[in-house]
Amino acid sequence: MSSLQIKNLRKSFGSVEVLKDINLEADSGEFVALVGPSGCGKSTLLSIIAGLESVSSGEVIIEDKVVNNEAPKDRDIAMVFQSYALYPTMTVRQNMTFGMECRNIDKATQDKTVERVANLLQIEPLLQRKPGQLSGGQRQRVAMGRALVRDPKLFLFDEPLSNLDAKLRVEMRSEIKKLHQRVGRTTVYVTHDQIEAMTLATRIAVMHQGVLQQYDTPKAIYETPANVFVAGFMGSPNMNFFAAKVVSTDGGFGLVLDGGDGTVLPLINGAHGALSDGQAVTFGARPEHFSPASEGRADRKGRASVIVPVTVEMDEPTGSETILMGEIAGQSAIIVCEPDEAPAPGVTMDFEVDMSKVSLFDPVSEKRL
Amino acid sequence: MAEAVHQAFDPLSTGSRAKQIRSKTIVYGLLTFFALLYMSPLFIIFINAYRPLEEIVREGFISAPNTMSWSYWGEAWSTFCIGGNCEGVSRYFVNTLLMTVPATVLSTAFGLVNGYALSKWRFKYDAWVFGLITLGVFLPAQMTLLPWAFVLGKLGVSNTIGGLVLVHTIQGISFTTLFCRNYFVAVPDDLIKAARIDGAGFWRIFWRIMLPLSPPILIVCVIWQFTGIWNEFLYGTVFTSGSNQPITSAIVAFSGSGTGERHYNVEAASVIFAALPPLLVYVFGGKYFVRGLTSGAVK
Ligand SMILES: Nc1ncnc2c1ncn2[C@@H]1O[C@H](COP(=O)(O)OP(=O)(O)O)[C@@H](O)[C@H]1O
Ligand SMILES: [Mg+2]
């Protein structure tokens, strides 16, 4: 059963259209991540789902009921804000009971619910404190607690972790995931951090300039990005894009990189859309889909691979892996490899490209081929 | 009344010893001079409230007292004749109290609600509404006299304290709305959004979230309105007469009272009675006033 549906949704502020024809649906219990760069309209979309903003046109449907004209309180949702938005003059307990109080839930039930949620989030010792006396991580927990006491149809999160330091962010991320698995409610989670989206979501909606670019599972988004924007936005370090030409070969098609020595990289049959001889394409390959040719790793796994020489200009060891910046056929490239196998800067070394993982895009429309 | 918030750089404590002494002498000398200058009227009035009338007439207003008496205070409060009414200033003091307290409470209450609505809720032409309300801040009181006379007459509350309460409440709303709106703008909108999702409406958000954040600006409004309305004189003089006047207008009537013989000592005591409440409010509330004007709503 679908728990949230957004149909042909548009939103303008004055003459500026910030959401353009958004279509989304989330199944019951799903965790949907809305991801995209700052200013692309994620928060606006979330506010519209919450009922804090009106739509310009289109429909928002929660559990098969059009809620366009319903007030936020009647939509049965709970929201966690980036700023946490804890009521500064109330204690943690009062922050958590305020929503129940507004809904005239009796005192005994309120106490029981607070106890349960405080226990779940381990915030019992904080119940009598004011938000001003809490650390950032504790405020974050309380903000989640305030949402959890409600047991709503939908949980909405607006960049809930972006005010935490890096370490706490990773901790809270897995905690949110655990909570979602435990509570099992449909969740819409806004973030500009593609790693958060990848790790948490069952489906990811990638947005850019008010347009929904792709809506799919994390795996599909990562492996078969719909366009250059999605390919570049998801994944770190970024996917490499090379200008190339399609050439016909005996078995099908291959690629010749612009500015290279003319070596043909054979494409896997059927892995890409219709191609024609001489067609210009953007060839996308992720940094981790290169590996040193000497190791023969792709061959061992039975994957189709091609060897390309890479001139390394700079290396950035992160400890677990080493990021190499260099050139392939005169075009800049980023490659990730194991620290032990990394060549020294200045060296030219052969790398295999795993051709089963690469993407092709139209250089003009930037759409996937 | 402002308290030192942080230790500022002190230029007087730098340089050579001689230079430090010289510059400190100049600064403190000037400050003392001006302080005495501003305090002197209060001091002179205060002294004259104890001096016998013939002594004042003989030696002038500014002179050291020879004999002193407490009796003029009592006379000023309860038996002195003003405009043919021999109840002292107590009657007018009560009039002013009955005018100032309700007008202060009402204008502050309306200001809080207006400020909240104008800063946290969007409605059609809200910017115009705010602009028109705050226009009152810049409108000279003289310009409003005729319209008010008309309104008070129509409502049948001319020459009543109730009429003055109405005038001061409405006139004060311009200020309190401006103060409160500017203060509430700093309250994060997310708090209101969170409360709306929690199921709270306009009034519950006001009572439970905004009002508890309001003490600093509430104190500013109360002090501003209380001292302003207490000391106000034009509306009182124009719209009331005789025993219905507030104390400020009644004191002016001194000059026109009786046969022309002036009771400077009793008048001095009356003036101090009239000035005391705003003075006390400032002495005890002044630091909160300054603090309220400079503090944000949420730390
Ligand atoms: N109330 C508003 N009035 C006018 N423009 C707005 C308003 N809210 C958001 N916008 C604009 O809409 C765009 C999307 O904003 P937002 O949804 O907050 O982006 P995101 O959350 O993805 O960073 C931005 O360009 C922003 O300036
Ligand atoms: Mg945002």
Least confident of A50-54, A326-330, B254-258, B264-268: B254-258
A35 with A154, same domain: the answer is yes
- Which residue puts its alpha carbon closest to atom 3 of ligand 1? A13
A158 alpha carbon, closest ligand: 2
The model's pLDDT over B266-298, given as tens digits with 9 standing for 90+, comes to 888 999 999 999 989 988 888 888 777 776 656
Q: What residues contact B6, with CB distance under 8 A and at least 6 apart?
A: none
> Is the CB of residue A162 less than 8 Å away from at least one CB of chain B?
no
> Is the CB of residue B279 less than 8 Å away from at least one CB of chain A?
no
Whether residue B14 is predicted with pLDDT greater than 80 in this model: the reply is: no
A123 with A69, same domain: the answer is yes
A203-208 and A253-257 beta bridge pairing: unpaired
- Hey, where are the domains in chain B? 13-79, 90-295
The CA–CA distances, whole Å, from A17 to A75, A158, A186, A219, B248 equal: 25, 21, 28, 31, 60
What CATH number is given to the structural domain containing A263?
Answer: 2.40.50.140
A126 with A271, same domain: the answer is no
Least confident of A51-60, A222-231, A299-308: A299-308
Least confident of A304-308, B9-13, B117-121, B166-170: B9-13
What is the pLDDT confidence band of residue A259, given thresholds at 50, 70 and 90? Answer: confident
Least confident of A72-81, A255-264, B159-168, B221-230: A255-264
A201 with A283, same domain: the answer is no
- How many independent structural domains does chain A possess? 2
- Which of A13, A20, A22 for mutating ligand 1's site (highest number of atoms within 8 Å of CB)? A13
Q: What residues contact A232, with CB distance under 8 A and at least 6 apart?
A: A238, A239, A241
What separation in Å is there between the alpha carbon of A42 and the centre of ligand 2?
6
- Residue where a domain stops, chosen among A233, A250, A267: A233
Whether residue A120 is predicted with pLDDT greater than 80 in this model: the reply is: yes
Q: How many C-beta neighbours within 10 Å does residue A317 have?
A: 11
A299 with A347, same domain: the answer is yes
Provide the chain B residues 161-190 that lie in CB contact (below 8 A) with chain A: 188, 190
A206 with A353, same domain: the answer is no
Could you give the CA distance from residue A163 to residue A143 in angstroms, rounded to a whole number?
13
Tokens of A106: 């009796």
Closest approach atom of ligand 1 to CA A14: 4
ipTM above threshold 0.95: no
Sign of the torsion formed by the C-alpha atoms of A342, A346, A347 and A348 = positive
Does the distance separating the beta carbons of B199 and A103 come in below 8 Å?
Answer: yes
CB A3 less than 6 A from any atom of ligand 1: no
A129 with A36, same domain: the answer is yes
Tokens of B264: 């400077």
What CATH number is given to the structural domain containing A56?
Answer: 3.40.50.300
Could you give the CA distance from residue B118 to residue B111 in angstroms, rounded to a whole number?
10
A44 with A123, same domain: the answer is yes
Overall average pLDDT of the B124-143 stretch: 90
- Which residue puts its alpha carbon closest to atom 14 of ligand 1? A41
To the nearest whole Å, the CA of A139 is away from the closest chain B CA by: 14
Cα–Cα nearest to A247, from A261, A260, A266: A266
Q: Say what the pLDDT of residue B211 is.
A: 95
The model's pLDDT over A270-288, given as tens digits with 9 standing for 90+, comes to 888 888 888 999 999 999 9
Note the pTM of the prediction, 2 decimals.
0.85
How many cross-chain Cβ pairs, A to B, lie less than 8 Å apart? Answer: 60
- Residue where a domain stops, chosen among A233, A264, A292: A233
Q: Say what the pLDDT of residue B293 is.
A: 72
- Which residue puts its alpha carbon closest to atom 18 of ligand 1? A43
A68 with A185, same domain: the answer is yes
Peptide linkage before B212 cis (omega within 30 of 0): no
Q: Is A366 a domain residue? A: no
CB A210 less than 6 A from any atom of ligand 1: no
Provide the chain A residues 268-307 that lie in CB contact (below 8 A) with chain B: none
A228 with A265, same domain: the answer is no
What separation in Å is there between the alpha carbon of A60 and the centre of ligand 1?
19
CB A43 less than 6 A from any atom of ligand 1: yes
Least confident of A301-315, B2-16, B65-79, B114-128: B2-16
Overall average pLDDT of the A25-48 stretch: 94
Q: Is A124 a domain residue? A: yes
Domain that holds residue A158: 4-233
Least confident of A102-111, B62-71, B102-111, B229-238: B62-71
Peptide linkage before B11 cis (omega within 30 of 0): no
Residues of A in contact with B123 (CB under 8 A): none
Under 8 Å between Cβ of A177 and A183: no
Q: Is A368 a domain residue? A: no
* Top-ranked range on mean pLDDT: pick from A37-46, A159-168, B86-95: A37-46
Return the CATH architecture of domain B90-295: Orthogonal Bundle (1.10)
Does the distance separating the beta carbons of B196 and A89 come in below 8 Å?
Answer: no
- Which residue puts its alpha carbon closest to atom 26 of ligand 1? A39
Least confident of A53-57, A171-175, A296-300, B264-268: A296-300
- Residue where a domain stops, chosen among A233, A248, A278: A233
A16: β partners: A13
Q: Is A341 a domain residue? A: yes
Q: Is A367 a domain residue? A: no
Overall average pLDDT of the A133-156 stretch: 92
Nearest residue of chain A to residue B192 (CA atoms): A85
A260 with A214, same domain: the answer is no
Under 8 Å between Cβ of A39 and A216: no
The model's pLDDT over B165-194, given as tens digits with 9 standing for 90+, comes to 999 999 999 999 999 999 999 999 999 999
A66 with A190, same domain: the answer is yes
Nearest to B193 among A78, A85, A102 (CB): A85
Whether residue A83 is predicted with pLDDT greater than 60 in this model: the reply is: yes
Could you give the CA distance from residue A319 to residue B50 in angstroms, rounded to a whole number?
88
To the nearest whole Å, the CA of A318 is away from the closest chain B CA by: 38
Q: Say what the pLDDT of residue B297 is.
A: 57
